[in-house]
């Protein structure tokens, strides 16, 4: 086991990160797939994981190339996730991760409304953002990687950056809008990892919140989300724009929920519909604000961080494709 870990750490410490990236030309073994899937989102649990592995420290550090220096601390996440991946593949009979990600269905800050928008980035994002900003409101966009368009297309990149640069929150809606509850463990991680990698390249962030397509999830999805450091988000109000509601019907749904005046609202909308962006949203913003609600980002209405990490943006290269 230590020899296998040594090979990985020695390779990675010499800068061979490309050996474990999804676009590598090397064979995609089960183990390298797990390294790719797990490498993002474990940061919040590194101290606990390292504590569990503390009994291995003396033998590791008897070998100089395995003693992590300060310069390598930034790579600890990948090292630890490699350990987990190798353990997982070497011991298939052991129980899989049983801790489940929290499922969020509503806001917690009184008098707040989170207007969320799924399935983009799409052409109406600009108008959605402008309507929100004009009303001093903030929205939350849950982006796919390859749904209505490829997230790496130049126009899509501009949309993602525009939303982020105008103060809106960005979250994961997974890669291809597949029903996660129907997928295998590796498929779930792949759907999550690909869009996380894209967002990290395009705007330099790793999202802390993930909305499963169709609001569909099971314990396997929650286990994967927990490993990736993310919470699962659904909603408590649906404008029903994605299931055929007319603008008049969607407005009536907003009227009904406002008349009930709950303490908070976590609203589901879709930025990919012309009528949502240009008809329903302006109406909803006016009605909600007239009712005294504050229109804030999802992280604001929850009192939680929007991102696991923020860093520099990437530069487009040959890996920016779907």
**What pLDDT digit, counting tens, does each position of 146-171 carry?**
999 999 999 999 999 999 999 999 99
pTM of structure: 0.74
Residue 41 vs residue 106, higher pLDDT: 106
Q: What is the dihedral of CA 37, 194, 179, 171, to 10 degrees?
A: 110
Set out the domains of the chain in order of their start, with CATH numbers: 2-90 (no CATH), 103-310 (3.20.20.370)
262-294 confidence digits (pLDDT tens): 999 999 999 999 999 999 999 999 999 999 999
Q: Can you tell me the mean pLDDT for 219-240?
A: 98
**To the nearest whole percent, how much of the chain has pLDDT over 70?**
70
Catalytic machinery residues: 118, 270
Q: What is the model's pLDDT at position 277? A: 98
pLDDT digits (tens, 9 = 90+) for 23-77: 333 333 333 333 333 444 334 344 344 444 433 434 334 444 334 443 343 344 4
Closest CA to 87 of 69, 28, 65, 79: 79
Share of the chain above pLDDT 90, in %: 70
Per the listing, tokens 């705007």 go with 203
Give me the pLDDT at residue 309, please.
97
Check residue 98 and give its pLDDT. 79
What integer pLDDT is reported at residue 96 of this predicted model? 56
- Whether the predicted pLDDT of 83 surpasses 80: no
The residue-averaged pLDDT of 233-262 equals 98
The pair of structure tokens assigned to 193 is 């990892």
Q: What is the mean pLDDT of the chain?
A: 80
Q: Kindly tell me if the per-residue pLDDT of 182 is higher than 70.
A: yes
What is the Cα–Cα distance from 215 to 95, expressed in whole angstroms?
Answer: 26
CA distance 24 to 28: 8
């Amino acid at each position: 086991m230590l020899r296998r870990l040594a090979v990985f750490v020695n390779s990675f410490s010499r800068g061979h990160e490309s050996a474990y990236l999804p676009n590598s030309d090397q064979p995609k073994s089960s183990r390298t797939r797990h390294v790719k899937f797990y490498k993002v989102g474990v940061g919040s649990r590194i101290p606990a994981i390292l504590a569990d592995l503390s009994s291995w420290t003396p033998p590791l550090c008897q070998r100089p190339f395995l003693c992590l220096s300060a310069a390598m601390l930034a790579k600890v996440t990948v090292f630890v996730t490699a350990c987990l991946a190798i353990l997982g593949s070497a011991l298939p009979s052991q129980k899989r991760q049983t801790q489940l990600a929290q499922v969020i269905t509503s806001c917690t800050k009184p008098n707040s409304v989170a207007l969320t928008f799924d399935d983009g980035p799409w052409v109406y994002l600009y108008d959605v953002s402008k309507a929100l900003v004009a009303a001093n409101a903030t929205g939350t966009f849950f982006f796919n990687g390859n749904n209505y368009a490829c997230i790496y297309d130049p126009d899509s990149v501009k949309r993602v950056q525009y939303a982020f640069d105008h103060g809106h929150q960005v979250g994961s809606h997974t890669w291809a809008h597949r029903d996660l509850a129907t997928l295998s463990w590796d498929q779930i991680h792949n759907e999550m990892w690909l869009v996380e990698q894209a967002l990290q390249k395009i705007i330099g962030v790793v999202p802390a919140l993930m909305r499963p397509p169709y609001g569909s999830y099971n314990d396997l999805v929650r286990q994967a989300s927990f490993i990736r450091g993310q919470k699962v988000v659904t909603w408590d109000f649906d404008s029903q724009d994605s299931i055929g509601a007319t603008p008049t019907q969607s407005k009536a749904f907003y009227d009904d929920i406002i008349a009930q005046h709950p303490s908070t609202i976590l609203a589901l909308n879709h930025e990919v519909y012309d009528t949502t962006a240009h008809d329903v949203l302006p109406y909803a913003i006016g009605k909600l604000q007239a009712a005294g609600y504050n229109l804030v980002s999802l992280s604001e209405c929850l009192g939680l961080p929007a991102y696991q990490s923020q860093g520099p943006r990437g530069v487009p290269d040959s890996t920016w494709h779907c």
